[in-house]
Structure 1
Amino acid sequence: MITDRSVFRDDWLPDVQHREAEMTVLTDALTPVLDGDRAEDVLLHGPQGVGKTVLTRAALDRLNRQQPTPSAHVHCLGASTAGIIRSILQELPGSDPARTTPQEELIATLQQRVTEPTVVVLDEGDDLPETDIVDVLRRVPDISWIAICHDEIDWLSRVNESTRHGLTDRSLQLDKFTTSELTDILEARQRVGLEGGVISRGQLRTLADGAAGVARRGIFALRAAAELATERGHTTIEDVDVEDSFDRARRQLREQALESLPLHHHILYEIIRRKGEVRTATINSRYDAISAVAYDGYDQTPISKRERRTKLQKLVDYDLLACEGTGPAREYWACDPSISSPLDLQVPVP
């Protein structure tokens, strides 16, 4: 029933639908490159799964069809300044730097290597304010950046004034899709990825409605419905397959999200998952108690309470944790305790 599984992956690049105004803002920011000038910086923000990365990739693809342009797409979640620079250099022409290369040497190499307008995409950039990467990139005259994050207000509140001022006109928000818009997106995917005639427009609308405007959720549900129909021996996707697709898609999304996160998130997640409902104060005391064991064998080191709050919010954004309350009394719990970290962690439960 599924004829092209790549259609359901995050790295598949579709024709962008229902983002015409946002695409115009982004392509306008990139237009100076066509005249040999540096593009404008952009902060692209919005909820998880609404197509921020897809829109960015589509805009760069459009730019490259007019003028081939060096670019680097870096996943920044949990990365240090040096780690981000190293990743940028790995995507640009030239030899890859050694892992032991000092940060200042990495910066010097970046300055020497970038001699024409270059666009750096800082994906999953919610942690960027904890680094000085934006200031570093400004030391390279030809580099512009597109930072992708969830919460604009939080992100801007944690960066310096010059960065905030520079983004006054280039802060771009992506909202959730309407049910009708998401139905169109799913219809386009199924035309490429599924056998013809196996799902109706009405069923696609049911999937879109259940996805609540989140494209990734709808796309995963569409794939799950096709998988269930195949497993059940159905020749077309039936309503029961659509109904049951959401639970499977939700689990697949959570598993993928957890797998994509850095070590710090896994440790915090496992503390909560194994403990059950737990308050922030208890999470912090538990983290401090087990951190020496949990980080043993890894390059990373324990993080501060402020950084933990950011990581916990990311776990909530990824639908891995739920929470209620505020401050030290805020309680967290795993949305699906049966989903465990794929890492081999030593996180003992008292």
Structure 2
Amino acid sequence: MNIEDRILQRKRRGERRRLLVDESALSPVWHPESPVGRGATIERLLDRLDPVFDGETPEDVYVHGPSGCGKSAVVTALFRHLSRHLSSPTNTIQTTTRSGSESGTTFAYVDVRTATSEFEFYHRLLDESTDESVPRRGLSTDELRGRIRKSLRTQSLVVALDHVDEVDPSLLEWLARERDEWSRDVSVVAVGRASPGGAPEAVSDAPTVEVPRYHRAEVTDILTSRTTAGLARDAVTHDQIRTLATWAEGDAHDSLAALLGTVDAALDDGATVVEEDHLRAGMDSVPRPCVSLGRVLALAENRQEVLRYLLELDESERSSVQKTADALASRSSLSASTIRRYLYELAEQDVVARVQADESNGAGRPPSRVEPRFPTRAFERLTAVETRTAN
């Protein structure tokens, strides 16, 4: 008797009965090592960054394209590989008191949606530029700034700033002023949705790399790649994948959000394969248009808590902003007035929508019910995973 073979056979049989194999592979905010269908775009961006291979600092560049076209996937993957091949451990920005003398280039990726203060920006820049842990306590903004400036005496920096058109323009203006005080060249790869004419002023004159919307076949390939890694074999059919790809209309983010919602619906049913009603539930959980999950997950925890509770309310409890705030306050430690303020802020950010009622029972302006404008099932699933991990 070969015990090893028998154990492996039973293990494989158990995996066939399980729908979900690797949840991270299904997440719209996770990016693979090699983005599917974006080879030509990577080549164009490498052309712009080509001077780094000769030890020089390239010009700034603005990478732009519509939602869900793979901009973040391209930039994060490329910077990961550039850092691996062109930066040695001694060429990363120092985070301790020791000094380094070697010259080189440091590559860093910063999602500016999560770096809305000087301290957060410098902390994330350091955190992305070294393998060492950067403490959040015991360091001031001036100390972080000083470490970066010191390192730039001998190193150049290429920094990717993602989602630049989703934050206050003053962040880029501040960064432009900071660059003037740094002692070595710094190159910025800015990433956003706006066309060059509508780009933030700080990068409006930079050379551009346009990322086109995906074709349906490319979205199909992306979904196939993700389901192969994340789901059990034969858990989803090719026809179902094509249905999702057609529905998404070239938006990879929406297709992946709907896929994760589909899997969530199937898991709720205790199913081991995806059925058509699961697919419909997944697509229905993604509003069109919708805000990206990355933007929602970048919100402060108290805002995310409000959104999680919002999804528990029925339509009558969301019939006006005030009713919504009152209902949420009964579930949360936050006051109704604070929640009301959050709801208005979230509406300005397009995370929720205030949909005006068709009729009003009294005089004055009709009330506005509150509707989520983000992928609901995917958001609940991703934040539940984060909560389980934290605990």
In structure 2, what is the equivalent of residue 74 of structure 1?
A: 110
**8 Å contact kept, 1:321–1:334:** yes
1:218 is the counterpart of 2:255: yes
Equivalent of 1:112 in 118, 126, 150? 150
Query: What residue identity is the alignment partner of 2:155?
Result: E
Aligned-pair CA distance for 1:117:
3.0
In structure 1, what is the equivalent of residue 191 of structure 2?
A: 148
**8 Å contact kept, 1:186–1:204:** yes
In structure 1, what is the equivalent of residue 175 of structure 2?
A: 133
Give 3-state SS (helix, strand or coil) of 1:133's partner: helix
1:19 is the counterpart of 2:38: yes
Equivalent of 2:50 in 7, 31, 39? 31
How many angstroms apart in 2 are the aligned matches of 1:323 and 1:120? 40
How many angstroms apart in 2 are the aligned matches of 1:274 and 1:136? 45
Aligned-pair CA distance for 1:100:
8.7
Equivalent of 2:201 in 159, 164, 178? 159
Give 3-state SS (helix, strand or coil) of 1:146's partner: strand
Bigger drift between 89-98 and 115-124 goes to: 89-98
Aligned-pair CA distance for 1:104:
6.1
The Cα offsets for residues 100-155 of structure 1, whole Å up to 9 and x where unpaired, read as 97766654432212332322222232325213113323543243222222324575
How many angstroms apart in 2 are the aligned matches of 1:154 and 1:276? 38
How many angstroms apart in 1 are the aligned matches of 2:240 and 2:81? 33
Aligned-pair CA distance for 1:88:
1.4
TM score, norm. by length of structure 2: 0.62
Give 3-state SS (helix, strand or coil) of 1:117's partner: strand
The Cα offsets for residues 234-263 of structure 1, whole Å up to 9 and x where unpaired, read as 442222221221134559987774342259
Alignment of 1:1-350 (within 5 A): 1-9=19-27, 10-68=29-87, 70-77=106-113, 79-93=116-130, 96=134, 106-114=144-152, 115-125=154-164, 126-127=166-167, 129-131=169-171, 132-140=174-182, 141-153=184-196, 156=199, 158-159=200-201, 163-165=203-205, 167=206, 169-170=207-208, 172-248=209-285, 257-262=295-300, 276=320, 294=338, 315-316=349-350, 318=351, 320-321=352-353, 334-336=370-372
Query: What residue identity is the alignment partner of 2:187?
Result: S
- Structure 1: stretches of 5+ with no match in the other structure: 279-292, 296-301, 303-307, 343-350
Query: What residue identity is the alignment partner of 2:237?
Result: S
Give 3-state SS (helix, strand or coil) of 1:29's partner: helix
TM score, norm. by length of structure 1: 0.69
Aligned-pair CA distance for 1:218:
1.0
**8 Å contact kept, 1:36–1:116:** no
How many angstroms apart in 2 are the aligned matches of 1:144 and 1:154? 21
Aligned-pair CA distance for 1:21:
2.5
**8 Å contact kept, 2:319–2:370:** no
RMSD of aligned alpha carbons: 4.4
Give 3-state SS (helix, strand or coil) of 2:147's partner: helix
Bigger drift between 195-204 and 38-47 goes to: 38-47
**8 Å contact kept, 2:31–2:76:** no
User: Structure 1 254/64 Cα, relative in aligned 2: closer, same or farther at 3 Å?
Assistant: closer
